[in-house]
Amino acid sequence: MSQQNDPLIIAGKSYNSRLLIGTGKYRDLDETRLAIEASGAEIVTVAVRRTNIGQNPDEPNLLDVISPEKYTILPNTAGCFNAADAVRTCKLARELMDGHDLVKLEVLGDQKTLYPNVVDTIKAADELVRDGFKVMVYTSDDPIVAKELESIGCVSIMPLGSMIGSGLGILNPHNINVIMEDCKVPVLVDAGVGTASEAAVAMEMGCEAVLMNSAIAGARNPILMASAMRKAVEAGREAYLAGRMPRKKYASASSPLEGTIVG
């Protein structure tokens, strides 16, 4: 299979799966685990939050369910609205993960859109890269911002397809194409994908991978959708590698016209 000879490489590490998934919004940890397994994802995002003081000490921990030995855990900075908070969160994440320094940087602009605050995203990316972090960065679909983040040294550029959790698909494929044209590090679509065909579209365009959470967790049957996404991402990648047929203005018969019994 082409999948085996076609690894996704992020920060020097190879992955067979080109689907990265989040762990938010699931009913419970069991559903989270089953969805991850069905998706085939090898990179899984988590959020970093205050522990509840006085909570049940026997409560299962997310990292017991998705073990860092089995998966590449990608801590995110979701919920941070400025560079300082995002940098603090990444440093806590690195300590939490015993020095593992791959992070998903997202600095948000406002609650309504969850659009990236690109000014603070650039500021935080710069500080984190200098501090030795490998930064996968969530950003807008602005090619100039993407280029800036690449030149800072981010290991992956992750433009949004549409707003986080919106399920509106890839609203500006042209911009994602422009970003990919020049970018030397993997470009992933992060956010916006709503269903399998949209994941396939991202992959057919030539994106290196897709990162999603709500499209799976928000489906009526998240585990079945996780499986659908796995297939869509694989199908989209293979279609990209295969190279689609050219579009034609008029029909072109698939069966030979010679030898027909008509006429």
Partner 1 sequence: MQIQVNGEMLQVQDDITLSSLISQLELGEKRIAIELNLEIIPRSEHVETVLKEADRVEIVHAIGGG
* Interatomic CA distance for residues 152 and 131, integer angstroms: 12
Is 184 one of the catalytic residues?
Answer: no
Classify the phi-psi angles of 116: left when phi > 0, otherwise alpha if psi is within -120 to 50, otherwise beta: beta
Query: Which residue, 13, 66, 18, is CA-closest to 44?
Result: 66
* Interatomic CA distance for residues 171 and 161, integer angstroms: 6
- Closest approach of partner 1 to the CB of residue 158, in Å: 11
* Interatomic CA distance for residues 54 and 89, integer angstroms: 22
Nearer to partner 1, 31 or 238 (CB): 31
Nearer to partner 1, 39 or 214 (CB): 214
- Closest approach of partner 1 to the CB of residue 41, in Å: 12
Q: Taking a C-beta distance cutoff of 8 angstroms, is the pair 138, 163 a contact?
A: no
- Closest approach of partner 1 to the CB of residue 132, in Å: 13
Give residues in contact with partner 1 (CB under 8 A): 22-26, 32, 45-51, 53-54, 57, 61-64, 73, 75-76, 78, 88, 91-96, 98, 164-165, 191, 211-214
Burial 90-112 (b: 16+ CB within 10 A, else e): bbebbeebeebbbbbbbbbbeee
* Interatomic CA distance for residues 18 and 182, integer angstroms: 20
Nearer to partner 1, 46 or 157 (CB): 46
Q: Which of 13, 70, 91, 104 is catalytic?
A: 104
Nearer to partner 1, 23 or 204 (CB): 23
- Closest approach of partner 1 to the CB of residue 180, in Å: 22
DSSP three-state, residue 208: coil
| Residues annotated catalytic, as ranges | 104
